[in-house]
Structure 1
Amino acid sequence: MLYLTKDPDSRKLRQGDQLLFFGQIDPPRNKGNPEEFDYASYLLHQGISGTAFAYSGNWKQTAHDFSRSLKQIALDYRSHLLKNIKEMGFFGDDYAVLSALVLGYQNDLSEEIRESYSISGASHVLSLSGLHIGFLYVLLEFLLSFANRNKRMIVFRQILIVLILWSFAFVTGLLPPVVRSVIMFSLIALSRLRNNRPVTLNTLAVAALFMLIYNPFYLYDISFQLSFLAVAGIVIIQPRLYQLIKTENRLLKYAWGVMSVSIAAQLSTTPILLYYFSRFSTHFLLTNIIVVPLVSGIMYLAIFTILLGFFPVIQSYFALLLKLSIRLLNGTVVFVEHLPFSSIDNIHVNKCETATLYLILLFGGCYLYTRKRKMLLGVLTGFFILILFQVEEKQRLQNIHSIVFYNNRNCPAIHLIESRETSYLFSAEKDSIQQKLSYTAGRFWKKIKLKPPQTLPSSYSASGIWRRDDLLSFGGKTICMVKDHSWNNKTADTPLPLDYLYICKGYRGKLAWLTPLFEIRKVVIDSSVSDYYREAFKKECTSLGIEFISLSEKGAYQIIL
């Protein structure tokens, strides 16, 4: 993965360009901040084993691969369709949501719309996958239902459905979730050549097998896990769940069918959703009853609207109807988002707890099918293990009174945590400190249920904490932040004992210049310090016999008080 400086030359690059660049290639590495997302593993699972940055002037285009891969050709077709959608008059959230629903293009989705769909429990509709391919498959089965007179017509119909499904996957850029879903529905279509009631669980397993043979790293992909777990839940849980309530009323039967599918999918995906996103959407049933039919209608309407490109006048009327449908969808999602108790946040579960939740589901499902008491005992045992995990985690997070040096090269900062209600940020920056640190430390703050920290002014004194400019005392520890040369040419009768000397970007002197002023016990080298000066400070610490830690190499440094 190569990062380039934004300039006129880099903006001209297109898919297929070959570059020659000068820069250091490093393996993916996490910053080591507490509770941070494992970005290094994520990149490796995406097939990226090295990252680099090239400044302007340090790279040039050497050639262009005109042969282009199938993936590149598919992405070009998708770009063309995205342009057509804009030409039909779709902009802003209307364009972003339609692009995500029909073509799987999510780059233009705003944070506000993503959050609304997430809280309401409808975020799955923004990810083009099994739900959307299922709608297309049902539509094709309906449109081609006339081809059911003899064996040859049936074969022709199913092969045509498979070809159309793969054509749709192609114009979406061959996105992995779409390819997975198309493989599964292709197998369902082909299985109908022998039996009109395919074994969908076996079909699902074969689709997963083919995908993992092609790329074993798909196993670590969130959308792969969610899509297969959701379908597995629908196949295994939904039939038994649907039989619990029997009614002859068609409307109630349809409503319960949608609800049972939604409950089954939610049950099978909730543990892994909690693990990744720490959120449970309480109104998911209400959302899906309204949103799923709306999305199906939008999918069908969008396909017909795009196909009417040769009739601009008629297309404009369909485009207007499509725009109103999308606004109704967005309005529904926002309405559910603002309902009381729309989501429960900050539910943190680790891998062991996630596995335990799935064991509870497994034993619970077996109990529903077999009614054996030992299965119920397995459910109770699972809950007991879950409680033990939670007690252990609560004890681990009991003592949060600490000092944290974060690994954030754009905002050198020290976090002084007194309690969950009170904490302070001591930073070399002056503005937007909390905002700059929210990505680095936000997950950690939520995990320990910490209220937003205060920014320490340059002069501050209270119980247990004291600051004067770059000197700080907290929890019995004395810290000095060195970010410039303001300590040069200063003298002291007696060196001030320092527990930590915090060196940040801006200081280009020597540690020996500071030893007459401070009695240094440990040096903390911030990640904002350049590679050259970091190595120089490390060598000098070694020669002076002073302990040191480099945040860019070791990650965040936390001191429990």
Structure 2
Amino acid sequence: MLQTWNRYAFIRFVLFLIPGIISGVFAAEYFPLICWLFCTLSIAYLIFQFFRGARFSIPHSVVSGIIAFIVCFSFGFLNTYWQAEKHQNRHLLNIDSEEILAFRSTLISAVKPTDKTYGFKADVSQIKLPSGWKKAEGKLLLYLEKDTTTSIFQYGDEVLIRGKLTELTEPRNPEEFNYKRFSGFNRVYHQQYVLQENICLIDRNRGNIIVAASIKTRKFLEKQVEKYIQDARSLAIAKALTLGIKEELDNDLRNAYAAAGAMHVLAVSGLHVGIIFIIVSIVLKKWRYHKKGRFFFALISLLTLWFYAFITGLSPSVLRAATMFSFIILAQTARRRTNIYNTLAASAFVLLCYNPYLIFSVGFQLSYLAVAGIVFFQPKIYHLLQFKYTLADKVWQITCVSIAAQLVTAPLGLLYFHQFPTYFFLSNLVVIPGAVVILNGTLLVLLFSFIPIVASALGFLLDYIIRFVNLLVFGLDIFPGSIIDGVYITTIEAWLIYFLIACLALLIAEKRYFYMKAAFLCTLLLSTSMISRQWTNFKEKSFIVYDVKRNSALSLRVGFNQFLSVSDSLSKDPDKLRFHIYPSQLKAGIASFHPDRFQPDTLPLFKKWNNIELAIWQGKTIACLKEQSPSEITLKEKVQVDQLLVSNSSVSNFDEIKRIVHPKKIIVDASNSYFTIQNLKASFEEENIDFYIVDEKGAFELNIN
């Protein structure tokens, strides 16, 4: 067993490197201690190795191994800390953004056009303060006003921008996607919308020469594809699948492929690099296993993979996949006594040393899990059935690959996307062969683009192939139960599912009773966690006013039942419902709500009287002012309310409120105009009223025990 484990050296390194990386992100304050630990134990390890003889005791070996793994953990911590940049004094996070008058930066990404802006990632080099120009560092997202002036900007341009920097904000609603943390993992902490009169070009070609050439090449190839594929959707699929350009994919396409469990086809990654590798392997089959020809095969394979990465713009997902396959090719060529798992771990180790923040990338996680799952489970599933005919056997092979990949990626799919495609094994029978044909077809169109008549014929044929694949993918969506959505699990529960999968895998491989007991324990802990979470949801009583710009939305929830009221415009916008409201509904276990099938409540909890909506809920009196109340209303005694919600700029000061109601707390939601909010705020402060501004503080939450 020990000798077997020794074959997995890089797996052990990665298992200790990853906790070090995570600690470096979330516990950076321990940097001095970890730095001292790394230096001390590195010297100790070298001493151990220097005095180690040909034979040494097991305790000596164990101590040496423990020291080595702690050194690996410490290296992961320190490497992450040093690459974070934000710990430097001149980083943008450590400078008061209110004092910044202008900044100088270099555009370090290809342009991402939207309906209203051109988006870039930029690297700041200098900032202008009232005291003068000062060196600075930090990355940010720039959104340039879309017009003919800003259309000239491209990767590598150095620009001067007048204006302050805006730091990315925390989520505004409960359980909302944390874009600030997501961008922080990419070491981006600021963003700025720039009008065309506030930006000017200083210099060009200040970026990486290779990256610039790659982006220009992809742009040229994009134009060639546009010439020969006419249908908009077919063109979007061809660009996304071959060149990694996903901006033109519409929501219907994305949703259909996601529901079919085939979204991975639309993002250039391991699947596409794997297809390229398979093509090269077939073409150079006689060289691959030849004693001297294998070096030629390796050289051509590596050149082909990295050339493909080059024409796709050197995107991170393709670079990851190319690195992974490069390690596999080199290991096979060297014919070292290793295994695929150790090779995968070696590539992951190198990538994480280069960029430790990759561990937080969903693409990185899914890529390595999918490959590891296919390598381990596919042969075992494949041998469960045998087919006489070649076609049936090929169908079974693809099905086994789909099952193996889905088995190990499903927990992450539930954690991040809250859904599971039930017909993934059918969709992959279509999209995987389809991806092979579309990828090769698009490459042929590009190859023969200098012969217009041939490229046009290939483009015409490819157009209808893509339409046929799309038709089949959309067809799966009409099947009953095509997708299980609305599933919520916590990070701990996802880990428990993976521990369960690992225990079952080891049970299959080792056939030891211990792993069955471990699997049972994981199942017990997972069930306990889910039951405990649902019991907590069942007992909760909450009042939430959501922060959705220019809209009103409130929720009154008791256990798994709720009253949800939203403005008309928001009720017809599933994208906003999905982003701002759906996450909290998922966590609370509200099965009746779905953004794509939302219907306003027909039996309102609030009763309307003279444009005032009133409700008695859990012993609390809640009032809503959504429209202006008639000025002639006079009451002998003011209505006593616990919470008053003001929406739609229905009042402009406290005087208009106090003639009707006497609230204990006033909540001003995000549907009010900026001037109304400022007027109300000043009025409340003057009257010493307890108030809450949703537009400034985010969603209002009140939990009742």
What letter matches 1:133 in structure 2?
V
Distance 1:5 1:204 in 2: 43
* Cross-structure match for 2:622: 478
* Cross-structure match for 1:466: 607
Q: Deviations over 1:51-106 (max 9, x none)?
A: 2334564x122324234433333222212111111101333111111111111111
Deviates more, 1:521-530 or 1:315-324: 521-530
Q: Is 2:489 the partner of 1:349?
A: yes
User: Aligned pair in 2 of structure 1 residues 540, 55: CA closer, same or farther (>3 Å)?
Assistant: farther
Distance 1:79 1:209 in 2: 32
- Residues 271-310 of structure 1 mapped to structure 2, 5 A cutoff: 271-310=411-450
* Cross-structure match for 1:557: 700
User: Aligned pair in 2 of structure 1 residues 62, 204: CA closer, same or farther (>3 Å)?
Assistant: same
SS class of match (1:61): strand
* Cross-structure match for 1:362: 502
What letter matches 2:200 in structure 1?
Q
- Residues 228-267 of structure 1 mapped to structure 2, 5 A cutoff: 228-246=368-386, 249-267=389-407
Match of 2:663 among 498, 520, 535: 520
Q: Deviations over 1:139-198 (max 9, x none)?
A: 112223454697664323322221221111011011111111111112222223322996
* Cross-structure match for 1:449: 591
How far off is 1:271 after superposition? 0.6
Q: Is 2:551 the partner of 1:411?
A: yes
SS class of match (1:368): helix
* Percent sequence identity over aligned pairs: 26
Q: Is 2:316 the partner of 1:316?
A: no
Q: Is 2:552 the partner of 1:435?
A: no
What letter matches 1:203 in structure 2?
T
Deviates more, 1:306-315 or 1:349-358: 306-315
**Comparing both chains, which one has the higher relative contact order based on Cα–Cα distances under 8 Å and sequence gaps of 6 or more?**
1
Distance 1:213 1:179 in 2: 14
Deviates more, 1:191-200 or 1:211-220: 191-200
TM-score calculated relative to the size of structure 1: 0.88
Distance 1:441 1:116 in 2: 22
Distance 2:159 2:612 in 1: 48
SS class of match (2:187): coil
Distance 1:526 1:72 in 2: 46
Query: Does the 8 A contact of 1:31 with 1:556 survive in 2?
Result: no
How far off is 1:217 after superposition? 1.5
Q: Deviations over 1:421-452 (max 9, x none)?
A: 7634264xx54545275132133345411346
How far off is 1:6 after superposition? 4.1
What letter matches 2:573 in structure 1?
Q
* Cross-structure match for 1:60: 199
Query: Does the 8 A contact of 2:328 with 2:340 survive in 1?
Result: yes
User: Aligned pair in 2 of structure 1 residues 64, 532: CA closer, same or farther (>3 Å)?
Assistant: farther
Query: Does the 8 A contact of 2:538 with 2:558 survive in 1?
Result: no
User: Aligned pair in 2 of structure 1 residues 453, 295: CA closer, same or farther (>3 Å)?
Assistant: closer
How far off is 1:234 after superposition? 1.4
State the Cα RMSD in Å.
3.1
How far off is 1:221 after superposition? 1.1
How far off is 1:339 after superposition? 2.2
SS class of match (1:173): coil
SS class of match (1:75): helix
SS class of match (1:521): strand
How far off is 1:266 after superposition? 1.1
User: Aligned pair in 2 of structure 1 residues 489, 149: CA closer, same or farther (>3 Å)?
Assistant: closer
- Residues 137-286 of structure 1 mapped to structure 2, 5 A cutoff: 137-147=277-287, 153-195=293-335, 199-246=339-386, 249-286=389-426
User: Aligned pair in 2 of structure 1 residues 483, 377: CA closer, same or farther (>3 Å)?
Assistant: same
Deviates more, 1:515-524 or 1:361-370: 515-524
What letter matches 1:497 in structure 2?
Q
SS class of match (1:449): coil
Distance 1:196 1:251 in 2: 35
User: Aligned pair in 2 of structure 1 residues 55, 298: CA closer, same or farther (>3 Å)?
Assistant: closer
User: Aligned pair in 2 of structure 1 residues 412, 290: CA closer, same or farther (>3 Å)?
Assistant: closer
Q: Deviations over 1:396-445 (max 9, x none)?
A: 22256643211112213333457867634264xx5454527513213334
Deviates more, 1:516-525 or 1:490-499: 490-499
Distance 2:233 2:638 in 1: 61
Q: Deviations over 1:194-219 (max 9, x none)?
A: 22996222221122122212221111
What letter matches 2:423 in structure 1?
H
Unpaired runs of 5+ residues, structure 1, are none
How far off is 1:538 after superposition? 5.1
Query: Does the 8 A contact of 1:31 with 1:552 survive in 2?
Result: no
What letter matches 1:202 in structure 2?
N
* Cross-structure match for 1:495: 638
* Cross-structure match for 2:98: none
User: Aligned pair in 2 of structure 1 residues 148, 454: CA closer, same or farther (>3 Å)?
Assistant: closer
Unpaired runs of 5+ residues, structure 2, are 1-140
User: Aligned pair in 2 of structure 1 residues 197, 82: CA closer, same or farther (>3 Å)?
Assistant: farther
How far off is 1:488 after superposition? 7.5
Distance 1:304 1:493 in 2: 83
Q: Is 2:475 the partner of 1:335?
A: yes
Q: Deviations over 1:34-60 (max 9, x none)?
A: 332222211111221112334564x12
Deviates more, 1:508-517 or 1:30-39: 508-517
What letter matches 1:271 in structure 2?
P
What letter matches 1:34 in structure 2?
P
Distance 1:275 1:286 in 2: 23
What letter matches 1:82 in structure 2?
E
User: Aligned pair in 2 of structure 1 residues 132, 148: CA closer, same or farther (>3 Å)?
Assistant: closer
User: Aligned pair in 2 of structure 1 residues 50, 530: CA closer, same or farther (>3 Å)?
Assistant: farther
Query: Does the 8 A contact of 1:482 with 1:501 survive in 2?
Result: no
What letter matches 1:325 in structure 2?
I
What letter matches 1:31 in structure 2?
P
Distance 2:177 2:404 in 1: 29
What letter matches 2:395 in structure 1?
A
Deviates more, 1:96-105 or 1:184-193: 184-193
Deviates more, 1:327-336 or 1:172-181: 327-336
TM-score calculated relative to the size of structure 2: 0.71
Q: Is 2:244 the partner of 1:104?
A: yes
Match of 2:516 among 376, 380, 384: 376
SS class of match (1:193): helix
Query: Does the 8 A contact of 1:424 with 1:454 survive in 2?
Result: no
Query: Does the 8 A contact of 1:278 with 1:346 survive in 2?
Result: yes
Distance 2:290 2:384 in 1: 38
SS class of match (2:167): coil
Deviates more, 1:218-227 or 1:256-265: 256-265
What letter matches 1:522 in structure 2?
K
SS class of match (2:702): strand
* Cross-structure match for 2:76: none
SS class of match (1:43): helix
Distance 1:488 1:6 in 2: 46
